Structure 1
């Protein structure tokens, strides 16, 4: 695949038209022809001499000295090594793009286009294409500066898309020789996004030996605070307060809250990092509601998974993150099943959903379906839920979390009427064999 196609694939993820691939003859030839080794002609057996009555003595073997090797007889072929930035989770044989995918692409263009790839897309095809592009093992674009990191560029985009697990997996295989401040910071952010404060703080502690920037001071203060060392955390907070115009205001609020100085609520978020979201989660501060309306997908995913937030806020954030591919249907269903409902609500889920269709009633109707032990009853609830979803323009939101509920039903003659609807949901959820 040539550079023109690589560039055009990035443009596809940006919503631009697909560009035609370049001439296949320009591709890098990875497989050299195997040298042919001439085989010796088979020896022709000579007729054995007639046996005689008297024994014959064979002549002694002649010792032949080995011929010394000439320098011209030795061919040395060094294997080219890939830039460590070329590491990826998928090879071409595993469904990734070819090793020479970026051939013909200039670093200046790729490093400009890649950050513009949208983090949010309702198209599963575009999301899959973008993720494969980011995690494929491929030689880096031409003229990449030594100081630049292609791994960081790719991981940043995965984090923006809410794809935390592949981002962490990509960081895990990063070569030690390419570890720098940008990579260390990206690793810490990924761990904070993953709600793994222990590992994130270990990474921060290791990085603080080498780096002393503002980010590391904030991260160190947070890690000290959650370890109980509020005095040192407050000292760092006071030292950097004079640069508060460069710092997200919630940092100071969270440090105070973790020390026991409760505030009325979190201030408005300007451009929060994963570090700040982790601080809010630890300090039990709720995000401002406006974040759910227009916040980035990575933030919405964090809000959806945070037990600190109001339930209605979590549900809205979760469904938005699901539509963007940042949460799976299973994660949404798990959230739905954990919502407490009154007995009256559970007794009439379909009526409640028909009257007021929204995230909460979607959760209610799937909670009802999950509680049905009779297959016919579950099928009836699911089919009505899907019908309402189609009528109200939110079929994906109800179908996605219900995939596993439909898959648990064993095919039977009495469920023939349900087969087409169930197959459509299972197919959309990737459960093709079922």
Structure 2
């Protein structure tokens, strides 16, 4: 299994915040329990549920991922504490605990106040150690420069202020302004490096400057790889891309695909039956529909989905999905938001046509246009497609060639860094999208 994990380096703060919350919840629970009952609680069911609620709720509310200052940083913490309080109070009322009022005043309120205070203060301290954006020099070709500027437009303004572009044909005198403050030099694999540039970069390395590939820098900064930055030689020689048929990592992924698909089919079968009934009641049309999609190496595979559009949705031929698409039924809109319409594809996972995690399979008739418009588009076929993927959890539903290009940049990132840990991250982000009802909707 590949050890490449640029996505993990970018989430070390998230992991440290979650670990701190785990320590605070367990420590505060143990302290209050011992203070009230005079004994250590051990690992109880109540503690396990509390940990899951607090860490899961923190992730869903963005406490680990969104940068906030002042009162704004405390607001989600207070919201989470009130939500957990309401859940436990409702549970006590439903179960009918006789002394629920006493437990609320003597145990639950002090516990949640202590957790909220400890968690919030810890987040403030840890966030202070968030590294500042580093100064970067990008040596690229004339053709790559506008592409990179367009990509960087999606990042915070602080990053733009730290980036200097140097063209391969530019006057080397511009490099004299860089010294110790320029911590990263990223060089395109497609750019010439004149001797004057090369000499300047070599003299900067002893000062602690890191010189590396433009593709590697894009992975760390953008969490994706614009396809225009890749050369054919780089694709053949680059590290990563280890998740290939016949390898041990491929077999491990297949094992978890089968296990996960069987479990999800058993758990969600009542939901699929209810959704199917709702589809039939709305227009008395068929519940399922099938399409041919491109699978591993571009081979055609047939997938089945719960029907979310009118029966005559493509009577005039295939179309891109639209904002407020009139072809989507009322029931289908909710099925798409919650991704329930995707559940029948679990059978394709069991057959081996799809994986749980991977690039989304596209329609062959669409790919003819995309392959002509987007460089290296067919590279995404090097791996088995999936129900959810890195592109789906990081970018809204695409409805144009431009959207497909950006989604390909995420797919290229996944292909190079695929592994169990990244699949788990995608799974967690998928669950968050489902709980937030942010499923397959065209970009606003």
Q: Which has the higher contact order (CA 8 A, sep 6+)?
A: 2
TM-score (norm. length: structure 2):
0.27
Question: Which has more radius of gyration?
Answer: 1
**More strand as a share of residues:** 2
